[in-house]
Structure 1
Amino acid sequence: MNTTPSNILVINCGSSSIKFAVINPTTEQALITGIAERLGETGSQIVWKDSQQKHTIALTTADHDLAMQSILKLLAEQQLIDSLAAIGHRVVHGGEEFTHSTLINEKVKKAIADCQPLAPLHNPANLLGITITEKYFEKMPQVAVFDTAFHQTMPAQAYLYAIPYRFYKEKSVRRYGFHGTSYRYVTTAACQQLGIDQQHSQLLCAHLGNGCSAAAISNGQAIDTTMGLTPLEGLVMGTRSGNLDPNLFSFLAAEYGYSLDDISHILNKESGLLGISELSNDMRTLEEAANQGNQQAQLAIAVFCYQLAKTLGGLATALTKIDGLVFTGGIGENSSYVRQQVIKQLAILGFKLDEQANLQNGNEQGVITQPNSTCALVVKTNEELMIARDTASLINQTTATGND
């Protein structure tokens, strides 16, 4: 039984789920991982796994608070509660105020709340996770790790929109970018896998999951990315449209009588892969249907891959060379077909696919291209570990300085 308070509880609270993990920041081992899902619905449950196997706990119908109580009961049963030194929270939007992870206090919580209009689907849930854990761990240090913080190194030419400048001055309307925690992790990992110096590296990265984005990263710092003021901008995603003509709002309002909220819902929840295929937002389901001849599934995948390749080509103009194109996220790590199509469409940048390595999701270095090719590789992301690292670092700094 581990009673040394050194482990980190990582919380990623969503609108209908709570992802959690207990990580030892010294060994970087995940002692337990899981998700409380379908919260607020019939059939709520916790799916969790340790080093041995996967387990399921039925919750019937649970809200976030009841789910957290069940998670804490589970951690107590696994003799992990007393081992916790701090809690790290994923927070999607930190605006311009946060360039790094930070210890949570009342001022930080207010700033997170103030950013809710910029991420209405995410920040309220992130803040709820903080509020609930504070109730059960009153004196335990808590840390906010922001998706947007990594992208605060972007230059103005990359983050400004060509709209009246007063909107930026008055309301901070600009491109922020997301998936920053993932990009920080895979940038370091990719450089290690390739044996190159991160401080002298030039990478293109594509984080592809239900939410998708891409970024240009120079010397370990973000210099451009695809997601914008909100996570809707950029690539085609599972249910999000990505880039489109802004006047589509006026057209849909005039032709269909939709309100702004209606259109926002359609573009966030009913578009992307799901919208085109009219079948699913899951790439695995679509690839299976496409192989069986479903033309809309084939079309959805084709649009997804083309828009991604076109965008990566554009992001390459922010770099002086390409040390590697990194594929990460659930689709990026596991879909050999998507990678194949994207690499094929990026031939102009010198990419040549190694078919066998791609089918294996990369060779021993994760590389999926031929030796005479511009390099592309697969890196498995680990946002939870990145959050644990940041949390442990901040707690250690606080302990060393004696700050509360």
Structure 2
Amino acid sequence: MRVLVLNAGSSSLKGSIVDSVDLRTIAKDEVSLGADATRRHGLERTVRGLLRKLQVGGGQEIDAVGHRVVHGGTRYRSATRIDDRVLKGIESLAEFAPLHNRIALLAMHAARKLVPNIPQVAAFDTAFHAGLAPDQFIYPVPWRWYREYGIRRFGFHGLSVEWSTDRAGELLGRPKAEVALVVAHLGSGCSVTAVLDGRSVATSMGLTPLEGLMMGTRSGSIDPGILLYMLRTRRAGWRELEEALDHHSGLTGVYGRAAGMREIEAAARTGNKRAKLAIDMFTGRTAAAIAAAATTLPRLDALVFTGGIGEHSTLIREAVVRRLAPLGLSGEGGSRTLVVEAREDAVIARQTAALLRSGRGRA
């Protein structure tokens, strides 16, 4: 089965055609999202252009479309056939991941219009973490917040972690159901997940993709009192806080402007103090999260790095592993350090094909 995989992010739309059997990428492309992409007509033009680049309908035939959806809440614990009811369900979760889910919804509407006779499936980043135990997903806040408002940890990057788990098992020569891993997905978004016997047992992101590690533009976890102070003294409203924490914090906030890790590393080598500080903070927080995740496992067979930074920055990987040496997590002796290419598209294609072949995906 040939699956068109659409991954709508905050700044770009990635598309690929994947063979769901051998997971070979037949074609792929990526387009930047313009300022009008958050409006339906704007994203429809973008999707149409991407399909044209991939030659969908003009030489490249597809059997299904698989969409990455960041937040599935408690409702969607596995890949799901898209219909009007599912679209409404995904929209109802947009408050927890406003930019990601809304962009994905627009991509779904566009794809349904452009290839109306092709079955479409949503694959959820949260689904991999659906089996977290209560001591991992409950927050230490008033119980009614959980009972009445659904405030709990969900976790994200599940599609990436699932692929890393599969590949780690292959590289270690063991079934994935017999390995204990910590997977560090380090990219524009960053998270750490502990995986035992193929299942997520702890993860750093929470109710939203804002919790946890320091990221490209996101703050990660900070003292909640900072937010209360900013609100109480009227130095910022909730919209300003949301904008600051999502788009102007993390590496961007410390370094001083939006930049990729390569630029920050280069600046640090020339003596830029804020670049060095950003790297030190990033690696320190990442190492701390890895150490915390490891405490939820009976042993650690491997530490897996994936994502743009995790795959391509030797400096960051070495700095993180060096910080873990006092805890015996240096990758020497007991555990190994692995680097795995992120392949969310392969997992989405596989889940899409499995759902449709099972018959559970009938409209």
Q: TM-score, normalised by structure 1?
A: 0.85
- Paired residue type of 1:10: V
Cα deviation for residue 402 of structure 1 reads: 9.4
- Cα deviation for residue 77 of structure 1 reads 7.4
Deviation at 1:166, TM superposition (A): 1.1
Please tell me whether residue 14 in structure 1 is matched to residue 41 in structure 2: no
Q: Residue 45 of structure 2 corresponds to which residue in structure 1?
A: 66
Q: 1:377 to 1:402 in 2, by over 3 A?
A: closer
For 2:13 and 2:33, the matched residues in 1 are separated by 9
Aligned 8 A contact 1:20 1:34 in 2: yes
Match of 2:19 among 17, 24, 39: 24
1:309 aligns with 2:287: yes
State the alpha-carbon separation in 2 of the partners of residues 254 and 323 from structure 1. 47
Residues 166-177 of structure 1: pairs in structure 2 closer than 5 A: 166-177=144-155
Check if 1:389 corresponds to 2:338.
no
**Equivalence for 2:171:** 193
* Cα pair 1:16 1:40 within 8 Å, conserved: no
| Residue 379 (1) aligns with residue 321 (2) | no
- Superposed CA deviations along residues 86-143 of structure 1, whole A, max 9, x for unmatched, are 0000000000011111111222111101101111111111111111111112221100
Mapped to 1, the partners of 2:206 and 2:80 lie a distance apart of 22
> Which of 343-352 and 168-177 deviates more?
343-352
Quote the offset at 1:255 in angstroms.
4.5
Separation in 1, partners of 2:175, 2:162: 15
Letter paired with 1:9 = L
Aligned in 2, Cα 1:77/1:167: closer, same or farther, shift over 3 Å? closer
In structure 1, how many angstroms separate the alpha carbons of the residues matched to 2:8 and 2:155?
19
Using the TM superposition, name which of 109-118 and 12-21 deviates more.
12-21
Q: How does 1:103-122 map to 2 (within 5 A)?
A: 103-122=81-100
The alignment status of 1:163 with 2:141, answered yes or no, reads: yes
Q: Which residue of 1 aligns with 2:267?
A: 289
Name the structure 2 match of 1:48.
Answer: none
Q: Which moved more, 1:111-120 or 1:246-255?
A: 246-255
CA distance in 1, matches of 2:234, 2:164: 43
Higher relative contact order (CA 8 A, sep 6+): 2
Matched to 1:75, the amino acid is L
| C-alpha contact (below 8 Å) 2:168/2:304 kept by paired residues | yes
How far residue 349 of structure 1 moved from its aligned partner, in angstroms, is 2.9
Relative to structure 1, is the Cα distance of residues 316 and 70 closer, same or farther in structure 2, using a 3 angstrom cutoff? same
**Displacement after TM superposition at 1:295 (Å):** 0.4
Shift of 1:29: 1.4
Matching of residues 36-51 of structure 1 within 5 Å? 36-40=31-35
Distance 1:200 1:153 in 2: 17
Once residues 154 and 166 of structure 1 are traced to their aligned partners in structure 2, the CA distance between those partners, rounded to angstroms, is 20
Cα pair 1:349 1:374 within 8 Å, conserved:
no
Secondary structure of the 2:201 match is: strand
Partner of 1:260: 238
| Residue 326 (structure 1) aligned to one of 285, 294, 304 | 304
Alignment RMSD (CA, Å):
1.8
Distance (Å, rounded) in 2 between the aligned partners of 1:80 and 1:15: 30
Q: Please state how far the C-alpha of 1:294 moved relative to its aligned partner.
A: 0.3
**Distance in structure 2 (CA, Å) of the matches to 1:345 and 1:13:** 35
1:137 and 1:38 mapped to 2: Cα distance?
A: 20
Partner Cα distance (2:181, 2:113) in 1: 42
Partner of 1:63, secondary structure, is helix
**Aligned partners of 2:239, 2:135: CA distance in 1, in Å?**
30
Change (3 A) 1:14 1:332: closer
| Distance apart, 1:281 and its partner CA | 3.8
Matched, 1:35 2:14: no
Give the superposition deviation at 1:74.
2.8
Conserved in 1, the CA contact under 8 Å of 2:33 and 2:46?
no
Aligned residues: 360
Partner secondary structure for residue 213 of structure 2:
coil
Cα offset for 1:71? Answer: 2.1
Measure, in 1, the Cα distance between the counterparts of 2:45 and 2:236: 36
Runs of 4+ in structure 1 over 3 Å off: 75-81, 401-404
Taking the TM superposition and a 5 Å limit, the aligned residue runs for 1:148-227 are 148-227=126-205
SS at structure 2 position matched to 1:145: strand
SS of the residue 1:206 aligns to: strand
Provide the rounded CA distance (Å) in 2 between the counterparts of 1:209 and 1:219.
Answer: 25
**For 1:262-295, what per-residue CA distance to the aligned partner results, in whole angstroms no more than 9, with x for missing partners?**
0111011000001011133411110000001100
Measure how far apart 1:78 and its partner are: 8.2
Distance 1:87 1:299 in 2: 43
* Conserved 8 A contact 1:351-1:376: no
Residues 272, 281 of structure 1: 8 Å contact kept: no
Distance 1:115 1:373, change over 3 A: same
State the match for 1:146 in structure 2: 124
Whether contact under 8 Å (1:17, 1:64) holds in the other structure is no
Conserved? CA contact 2:16–2:54, under 8 Å: no
Give ranges in structure 1 of 5+ residues lacking alignment: 1-5, 45-61, 353-368
CA distance, structure 1, for counterparts of residue 258 and residue 78 of structure 2 = 36
When normalised by structure 2's length, the TM-score is 0.95
Equivalent residue for 1:89, pick from 67, 76, 84? 67
Match of 1:102 among 80, 84, 102: 80
Distance 1:67 1:306 in 2: 39
Percent of matched pairs sharing the same residue = 38
